[in-house]
Chain A
């Protein structure tokens, strides 16, 4: 797993659907593994295949459309709602995505993504529409996501938008740090705190 993100320049896979829940991203029956690897194979399993059969890909689903490639997934609002399963973020990352763009992310998913160096980029409704339009016109249209500058740009039109990210999380992603490293470093303070907690 790449543990650092700065600039991602890539074509995109668009899924123009709202409220995509984590049960769709990775159905529960695939959560039986005890390691973090290999979930990409079953990403969007039931939307990707007819009758749960890998020999029968659903042609209309974007992941099965060879015109759409790249390391950026673009989806409609309220992406990642539902179950807290981190397997959803693992599956997306394992499949090969580094960035997910939506106009709205569910809270837990967003945290899970950040903890796995998968960058969730929240854009305005209109910018999201612009991305979908650009890709519809030309499937090879690409996006440039610049974490340091907090910008996302549609290369073909040069349309650019700023995105928000928590300063602490940004530093983690840019440097490949995770929260446990930080929390372990303040263990003394935690122990001190416990003494005063009734």
Chain B
């Protein structure tokens, strides 16, 4: 029978299905971090259990770490304690930890792929909603809660109901200045912040196939922002080439076997989806969000919806949102002043993102009253950026290159955007208070964020790209 990519992986990992209930799903890889794991370890201890398969668990510290002076002890006591607790738990339970100071440390969804831990055909979970990122390799990867972290630590299994299946096809060539972040912001604005709830989403079509692995990860990363259980892209030569040779990738005979299997991971021609959406890449322009959920996005040349364009039922949320953002309905977003630029997070902090920003800003300087933070996703990204001289480009532009971590993505560590300030951010969430109490967030691509860094306001990057510098 014809199967989708999702079904091929799912069927291979279901141990059994409870009658009239969920399936028992076997989990290949489990990533953990300091914030959502302590209570799970505590639960294990209370039950007197060990970690069932410690070799299938990888840990890092990312959410609560500072992004300057990482060699010093963490200042804030509770953060320090949480990071310390992770270390103790990993030692006690025999789990590999890439903690602060380790050359592999970084944001959990950046390091998994970068180390070759993430491989096609796997089931991957993490107590973090952006686990969907790993789906870019053709895996079933999704975020779980702490009770579920405990379950996976204890049994390497989870109880899951099979989601419905959706395919989103993006066909055609992208416009100048449009990158993968714009594709996903466009999709979410089209189907809303809840438009894919209950679905596993497969992204397909020529515009997706042409993307690099980094760009594919950006798309899968934000699947959760439309409610999807997971997002995935069928693996192909681009995927295999990316994985090959990485630290934990299979090698030699194991590689040949894995590769032969991975090549079977695609949706069969007549496989059935519960829903299909077709998008023309030509319709996408550089995107930006104006509101307080990632579905509130518009093309950068567009305007904030007028009240008359909003559904009666949605008005209370819409008005609250604009009040928070300090924006008027019906106004243009271009030209809006920004105070901070944050380029980082598991959505856009990979080497390709940094290269893209560097290529654009080379020889330019940031606007005077803007603060620009570039936060690499991992130690390895940081190292590579330095090797390539990207750090120098940033320095000359007046940007600050910080150390790896989640940073200003979530208003938990030291990096917060002050109340009332506007931040254009390459992260994935613009919720109220996400970047700090009363901070205001515009989500955008690294290119659009870089354009704002140079001009000091929301700008249309297409107007700033000279024909000589074609940033794809």
Contact = CB atoms under 8 A, between A and B. Distances in A.
Contacts of B350: none
Interface in A4-27: 16-19, 21, 23-24, 27
A21 B441 CA distance: 15
Interface string A75-90: 0111001111111010
Interface stretch (A63-71, A134-142, A145-153, A185-193): A185-193
Contacts of B182: none
Given A81-B227, A184-B155, A35 B316 contact: no
A174 interface: no
B129 A108 contact: yes
A166 B314 CA distance: 30
A187 B224 CA distance: 31
Contact of A76 (B146, B317, B410, B429): B317
Interface residues of B, number: 71
A111 B22 CA distance: 12
Given A27-B437, A28-B410, A187-B155, A85 B36 contact: yes
Contact of B293 (A21, A46, A85): A21
A190 to B, nearest CB: 6
Contact of B437 (A46, A112, A182): A46
Contacts of B193: 19, 78, 81
A107 B197 contact: yes
Interface in A147-178: 166-169, 178
Interface string B102-132: 0000000000000000000000000111000
Nearest to A79: B194
Given A28-B411, A46-B437, A19 B317 contact: yes
Contacts of A18: 313-314, 316-317
Interface in B5-56: 12-13, 15-16, 18, 20-22, 24, 26, 35-36, 38-39, 42-43, 47, 49
Interface string B309-345: 0000110110010000000000000000000000000
Given A78-B194, A115-B145, A27 B155 contact: no
B161 interface: yes
B273 interface: no
B411 A168 contact: no
A77 B316 CA distance: 13
Interface stretch (B79-87, B173-181, B390-398, B442-450): B79-87
Nearest to A112: B145
A78 B155 contact: no
A196 to B, nearest CB: 10
B154 interface: yes
Given A32-B78, A36-B39, A189 B151 contact: no
Given A19-B293, A46-B432, A166-B22, A180 B144 contact: no
Contacts of A169: 21-22
Contacts of B429: 21, 23, 82-83
A107 to B, nearest CB: 6
A2 interface: no
Given A28-B412, A178-B147, A190-B15, A35 B431 contact: no
A11 to B, nearest CB: 22
Interface string B69-102: 0000000001101100100000000000000000
Contacts of B198: 107
Contacts of A85: 35-36, 145
B140 interface: no
Contact of A183 (B36, B82, B155, B197): B155
B16 A189 contact: yes
Interface in A102-138: 104, 106-108, 111-112, 115-116
A193 B35 contact: no
B459 to A, nearest CB: 28
Given A17-B317, A106-B197, A180-B155, A27 B26 contact: no
Contact of B154 (A33, A107, A183): A183
A180 B197 contact: no
A167 B17 CA distance: 13
B433 A46 contact: yes
Given A78-B193, A179-B147, A190 B157 contact: yes
A84 B129 contact: yes
Contacts of A19: 193-194, 293, 295, 317
A52 B418 CA distance: 13
A32 B431 CA distance: 19
Contacts of A115: 145, 147-148
B235 to A, nearest CB: 16
A108 B161 contact: no
B374 to A, nearest CB: 21
Between A81, A106, A168, A194, the greatest number of chain B beta carbons within 10 A of the residue's beta carbon is seen for A81
Across the A-B interface, give the 10 residue pairs with the lowest CB-CB distance, nearest first: A168-B21, A86-B145, A32-B78, A34-B38, A112-B145, A115-B147, A28-B412, A84-B143, A78-B194, A84-B129
Interface of A: 16-19, 21, 23-24, 27-29, 31-36, 46, 52, 76-78, 81-87, 89, 104, 106-108, 111-112, 115-116, 166-169, 178-180, 182-184, 186-187, 189-190, 193-194, 197-198
5 contacts: A34-B38, A82-B429, A83-B129, A85-B36, A86-B39
Given A189-B24, A190-B155, 8 more contacts: A21-B293, A24-B433, A36-B146, A46-B432, A46-B433, A78-B194, A82-B429, A198-B261
